[in-house]
Structure 1
Amino acid sequence: MNSFSIEKPVRYYDQVYNSIKEKIVKGVLKPGDSIFESRIARELNISRSPVREAVRALEKEGLLVIDEKSRITVYKPTLKDIVDIYECRIALESLATRLTTRYATNQEIKDIENTVLNVKQNLNAEGERNRDVLIEENGRFHDLITKYSQNRRLQKQLRDLKSLSQYYRVLNFQGENREWIVFNEHQEILDQIKQRNEENASIKMKKHLETDLQHLKEIFDSQLKPGKTE
């Protein structure tokens, strides 16, 4: 007998959370833009409770800021924030890469390789590249390396940085040939993981994130630095 199944409806909180987060990460909502819970609730025809819950979650993740007068605005990046987050990522992800090289099964390494292959296929496809796919697969590459490290405390620390890492990841893809630069660096990391060379894999990840940090510093100076105008 065939079993019955239904799809559970998506909670209002999840819909609001995902919608606001996507708009921030993709730059639809700009740094410093105001967010009004009542307006969102009215536009979605829902109560303010799930909106308030989503806003508090995004504040905790660093994407929204609530001031002493309860005004809600989109997070404004600072150079110090960028450096702080990437210093943490460099330390944590270089270790995660070392551990994944040591512990990952062949199938798990294949999972990591598939993200690189998906990016390569997208880059070589005729017509316009799907930037969303490139960014998503970029994130999966890093997430899988963290996941397969088998270190739960390390994973937790990187989860705490995930939302802002996603935010900066979108910015990081700005610039000429950035997609190919990131792809080639991921390929180099993957090659060392496949060879089970812990030291070189860790070094390649460290250099990759240092390159990202330098690129983001340049973007900050040209686009995000206070006083800059479009």
Structure 2
Amino acid sequence: MEIDASDLNRSLPLRDQIYQKVRSMIVSGQMKPGEAINEMAIAQSLGVSRTPVREAVKRISDEGLVNVFAQTGTFVARISIRDIEEAYVIRNALEMESARRAAEKLTQAQAEVLEDNIAAHKTAIARGRYSDAIHLDDVFHRTIAEVNGFHMLWRAVDISKAQMDRGRYLAIPKPGYGEQTIQQHQAILKALQRHDGEAAATAMREHLNTSLRNTLEVAAVNNAFG
């Protein structure tokens, strides 16, 4: 297993950096459902001991992204409908309230940051840079949370939405899905700019509902469910 070790900062905790790397590979589909997680191979690829790898994999296991079977091994979990629906419930509740509150506080400078994000997102979709598009999507949502100063809220969303993200990587190349996201982000931003909290929350709910439908549809077609 080859994992890029060039950006590891060995003066910082390795387990946190390895966690981010392995988690990203699972969420993005670089590690497939059912694929074995070889801790020794990961450690050798990164040039580290097995201890921080084991700690990172334990953390990922706690998030339900891998399954550990005694005497058998550790494997990337298949995508679970129940986990996706649970992630949606958590994300919907937190992000609707985040949008509702942000509408009261949004400044012109913050609106321009969101406008720039949407423009960059459009470019990424047009050029087929889907990983960049998903990153920009996350930045859009995180920025709304940060309008409120709610950094822990985004952390909670980020942990819970991992299962939905796995479906997003399958869904976004499909024609029209990326463009639909752009249109919905624009609707959210317009409501925020009007300082209309209820409209912003409603636009956010419609956006997340669409994301859930697309995720379930594409994961089913790709037989990614466990």
**Paired position in structure 1 for 2:9:** 9
Where does residue 223 of structure 1 map in the other structure? Answer: 222
Q: 2:134 — aligned with what?
A: 135
Question: Which consecutive residues of structure 1, in runs of 5 or more, have no partner in the other structure?
Answer: 1-6
SS in 1 for 2:67: strand
Residue number in structure 2 paired with 1:213: 212
2:184 is the counterpart of 1:185: yes
Distance 2:178 2:138 in 1: 13
Q: Which residue of structure 1 aligns with residue 47 of structure 2?
A: 45
Residues 60-75 of structure 1: matches in 2 within 5 Å?
Answer: 60-69=62-71, 71-75=73-77
Aligned in 2, Cα 1:157/1:51: closer, same or farther, shift over 3 Å? Answer: closer
TM-score, with structure 1 as normaliser = 0.83
Check the 8 A contact 2:101/2:197 in 1, yes or no: yes
Which TM-score applies when normalising by structure 2?
0.84
Aligned counterparts of 2:15 and 2:224: Cα–Cα separation in 1: 33
Corresponding position of 1:79: 81
For residues 95-126 of structure 1, the C-alpha deviation after alignment (integer angstroms, 9 at most, x for no partner) is 111011112333223222221121123345xx
The residue identity in structure 2 corresponding to 1:177 is G
- 1:116-195 mapped onto 2 (5 Å cutoff): 116-123=118-125, 128-151=127-150, 154-155=153-154, 157-195=156-194
Q: Which protein has the larger Cα radius of gyration, Structure 1 or Structure 2?
A: 1
- With over 3 angstroms needed to count, the CA separation of the structure-2 counterparts of 1:50 and 1:156, relative to structure 1, is closer
The Cα shift of 1:13 comes to 2.9
Partners in 2 of 1:16 and 1:152 — Cα distance? 22
Write the letter of the residue equivalent to 2:73. Answer: R
In the superposition, relative to structure 1, how do residues 123 and 169 fare at CA in structure 2: closer, same or farther (>3 Å)?
A: closer
**In terms of mean alpha carbon deviation, does 7-16 or 167-176 score higher?**
7-16
Contact 1:99-1:150 within 8 A present in 2 as well: no
**Amino acid paired to 1:34:** A
4+ runs deviating over 6 angstroms: none
Secondary structure of 2:222's counterpart equals helix
Assess, with a 3 A threshold, how the Cα gap between structure 1 residues 156 and 15 changes in structure 2: closer, same or farther. Answer: closer
- C-alpha change, 1:190 and 1:170, in structure 2 (3 Å) is same
The root-mean-square deviation of aligned C-alpha atoms, in Å, is 2.5
For residue 80 of structure 1, give the secondary structure of its aligned residue in structure 2: helix
Q: 2: CA distance between counterparts of 1:130 and 1:168? A: 17
Equivalent-residue separation in structure 1 for 2:21 and 2:152 (angstroms): 29
Structure 2 match to 1:58: 60
The number of residue pairs the alignment matches comes to: 218
2:110 is equivalent to residue 108 of structure 1: yes
Q: Which runs of 5+ in 2 are unaligned?
A: 1-6
- Report percent identity of matched pairs: 27
Equivalent position of 2:96 in the other structure = 94
Deviations 1:22-56 (A, max 9, x none): 32122121111111212222333321111112111
d(CA) in 2 for partners of 1:137 and 1:101? 20
Deviation, structure 1 residue 16: 2.7
